[in-house]
């Protein structure tokens, strides 16, 4: 199991853009002593997981590259899950332990997020540790130091961890009132409460709000969010490990005594539903309950009267087939192993920085080239900002608001299902931000002028770009021009920008061969049909 996990964690080339956002904060924390989005911009907490960012910064401060640091962190968190799981199922048959272990390591969500590098695996590890520590604390009748440490780590890892932590504290006080634990059972509980309240206080003092800025950027109408959350959970049930979650209530009915696992499962489901699910694929928010499901799968397998090895063998193909929907559940585990082994064979594992074959590498390379086109103090607004901020020297203005408190806290419209953040392109255009970059740099295998003059078709990436151009409204159409920077030795395709007309002379002097057109509205209208489909 550890070998499979090691292979997964070695394939650190498929970063989601949000992982690079966390990298930016961790790098700035090491270089400037504070987790800035950019030193020239006001402080903002655009990282959802303070624990992930701090762990990356600590490893990076030793001289490790951020990719290598993240690879070590993902493997370490996954190994902790497996170690805790094996300790929890000690005493069951070997076949049962293997069967439950396969539920963890052959999970498509685990395979995807070990390589995608965000906070899902570390959060799942801390969540599982918290469950086991609470279970032990209840059996001992006292609030143990291990439960204290687990709850502190959970609170640092994600805002949901703070909510869960407060819920567990209330639950423990209820046990005290009902005399289910000893009178001296309060123990270290005040330490956890002080930490959680301290996190809220620090955010209020520095940032002016109690939750991460990303929460405000991504939160829309609550009923629309609930609908999205229920749809997300349905997808998990039919394409992820969700169907196997029936093992938890089934085991309780069969006498496992795992009522606490059932409470953790239902509590996480409720939190995910209220939060509106996750914008990313591969069910990152359901990873925390995966080890709990594995525990009861192992318990049920241990109760099977027939040969247990046969039962395990029957489980494997079913489980793999269940996760064969990569668009929703992430890269299927066997495909992830194949891709990881191929990367290892090419010498790209584990300590090399982002491989040249990845989209993230192409995005960062394009960003570094873009930094030479404009003066260092030129703000560049963008909708997909992680790779750009990682590679650019210029301050990046997040048009979706995740790293921009001024936009994140603007009022939301009724019925607005705000999954990625709401693009406020028109407001930024009215403020005359000098440059806009839309979509990902690696997707610009087209030129705006070529589409306008009928030399190229409006490809899917161009339609995404045009969506945001259309959102710029009249201010963008009147005052900006579409600029295509030709391909270069470091970039095999053009780089398309929306540039304020007052910047064009300076840009033309730096790059004489750029293609410029002021027909911004025409470009958006050519892709109007696709824009309507995207909006729906």
Q: Does residue 363 register a pLDDT over 90?
A: no
Read off the pLDDT band of 356 (50, 70, 90): very low
Average pLDDT, the chain: 84
Region of 498 (left: φ > 0; alpha: ψ -120 to 50; beta: rest) is beta
Which carries the bigger pLDDT value, residue 416 or residue 94? 94
Tokens 């700035």 found at: 28
From first CA to last CA, the distance across the chain in angstroms is 43
Question: How do beta strands 396-398 and 435-437 pair?
Answer: unpaired
How many C-alpha atoms does 24 have within 13 Å on its Cβ side? Answer: 28
Asked if residue 4 lies in contact with residue 79, where contact means CB atoms within 8 angstroms, the answer is: no
In 5-140, DSSP assigns E strands to: none
Share of the chain above pLDDT 90, in %: 40
Q: Which of 312, 113, 329, 335 is nearest to 241 (CA)?
A: 329
Q: What is the average per-residue pLDDT within 328-356?
A: 64
Q: What are the pLDDT digits (tens) for 49-101?
A: 999 999 999 999 999 888 888 888 998 999 999 999 999 999 998 888 988 99
Asked if residue 301 lies in contact with residue 312, where contact means CB atoms within 8 angstroms, the answer is: yes
> For every residue of 205-225, which 3-state class applies, written as one string?
HHCCCCCCHHHHHHCCCHHHH
Which carries the bigger pLDDT value, residue 371 or residue 172? 172
Q: What is the average per-residue pLDDT within 519-523?
A: 83
Angle at 48 between CA 238 and CA 242, to 5 degrees: 15
- DSSP secondary structure letters along 227-241: HHHHHHHHHHHHHSS
Residue 499 phi/psi, 5-degree rounding, is -120, 135
Q: What are the pLDDT digits (tens) for 193-219?
A: 999 999 999 999 999 999 999 888 887
Angle at 286 between CA 189 and CA 230, to 5 degrees: 110
Read off the pLDDT band of 184 (50, 70, 90): low
Q: What are the pLDDT digits (tens) for 368-389?
A: 878 888 888 899 999 889 989 9
- DSSP secondary structure letters along 90-105: TTS-HHHHHHHHHHHH
Q: Considering only 5-14, 368-377, 462-471, which range has the smallest mean pLDDT?
A: 5-14
Domain-by-domain residue ranges, the chain? 1-346
Q: Does residue 29 register a pLDDT over 60?
A: yes
Edge-to-edge strand order for the sheet containing 480-485? 396-398, 380-382, 435-437, 495-500, 480-485, 515-517
Q: What pLDDT was estimated at residue 426?
A: 92
Q: Does residue 351 register a pLDDT over 50?
A: no
Q: Does residue 7 register a pLDDT over 90?
A: no
State the Cα–Cα distance between residues 22 and 117, nearest whole angstrom. 10
Q: Which tokens in the block code for residue 165?
A: 């932590």
Q: What are the pLDDT digits (tens) for 102-136?
A: 889 888 888 888 877 889 999 999 999 999 999 99
Read off the pLDDT band of 22 (50, 70, 90): very high
């Amino acid at each position: 199991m550890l070998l499979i996990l090691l292979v997964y964690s070695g394939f650190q080339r498929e970063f989601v853009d949000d992982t690079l956002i966390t990298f930016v904060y961790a790098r700035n924390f090491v270089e400037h002593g504070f987790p800035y989005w950019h030193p020239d911009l006001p402080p903002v907490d655009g990282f959802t997981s303070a624990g992930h960012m701090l762990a990356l910064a600590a490893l990076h401060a030793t001289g490790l590259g951020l990719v290598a640091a993240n690879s070590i962190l993902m493997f370490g968190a996954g190994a902790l899950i497996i170690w805790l799981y094996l300790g929890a199922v000690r005493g069951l048959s070997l076949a049962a332990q293997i069967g439950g272990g396969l539920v963890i390591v052959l999970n498509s969500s685990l395979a995807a997020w070990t390589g995608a590098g965000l906070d899902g695996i570390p959060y799942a590890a801390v969540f599982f540790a918290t469950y086991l520590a609470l279970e032990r604390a209840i059996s001992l009748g006292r609030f143990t130091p291990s439960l204290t440490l687990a709850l502190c780590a959970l609170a640092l890892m994600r805002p949901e961890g703070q909510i869960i932590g407060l819920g567990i504290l209330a639950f423990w006080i209820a046990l005290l009132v009902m005399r289910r634990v000893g009178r001296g059972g309060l123990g270290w509980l005040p330490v956890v409460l002080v930490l959680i309240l301290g996190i809220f206080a620090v955010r209020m003092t520095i940032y002016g709000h109690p939750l991460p800025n990303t929460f405000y950027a991504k939160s829309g109408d609550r009923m629309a969010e609930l609908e999205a959350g229920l749809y997300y959970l349905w997808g998990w049930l039919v394409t992820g490990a969700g169907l196997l979650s029936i093992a938890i209530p089934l085991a309780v009915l069969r006498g496992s005594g795992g009522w606490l696992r059932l409470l953790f499962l239902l509590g996480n489901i409720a939190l995910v539903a209220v939060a509106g699910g996750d914008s990313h694929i591969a069910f990152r928010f359901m990873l925390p309950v995966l080890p709990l499901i594995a525990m009861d799968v192992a318990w049920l397998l241990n109760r099977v009267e027939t040969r247990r090895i046969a039962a395990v063998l029957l489980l494997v193909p079913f489980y793999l087939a269940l996760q064969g929907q990569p668009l929703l559940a992430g890269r299927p585990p066997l495909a992830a192993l194949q891709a990881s082994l191929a990367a290892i064979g090419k010498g790209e594992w584990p300590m090399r920085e982002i491989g040249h074959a990845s989209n993230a590498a192409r995005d960062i390379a394009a960003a570094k080239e873009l930094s030479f086109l404009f003066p260092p103090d030129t703000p560049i607004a963008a909708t997909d900002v992680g790779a750009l901020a990682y590679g650019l020297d210029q301050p990046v203005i997040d048009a979706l608001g995740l790293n921009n408190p001024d936009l994140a806290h603007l009022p939301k419209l009724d019925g607005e299902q705000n999954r990625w953040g709401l693009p406020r392109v028109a407001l930024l255009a009215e403020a005359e931000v000098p440059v806009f970059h839309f979509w990902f740099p690696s997707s610009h295998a087209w030129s705006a002028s070529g589409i306008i003059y009928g030399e190229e078709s409006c490809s899917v990436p161009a339609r995404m770009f045009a969506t945001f151009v259309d959102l710029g409204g009249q201010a963008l159409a009147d005052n900006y021009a579409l600029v295509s920077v030709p391909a270069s030795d470091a970039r095999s395709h053009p780089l398309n920008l929306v540039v304020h007309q007052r910047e064009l002379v300076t840009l033309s002097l730096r790059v004489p061969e750029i293609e410029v057109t002021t027909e911004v509205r025409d470009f958006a209208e050519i892709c109007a049909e696709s824009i309507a489909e995207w909006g729906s």
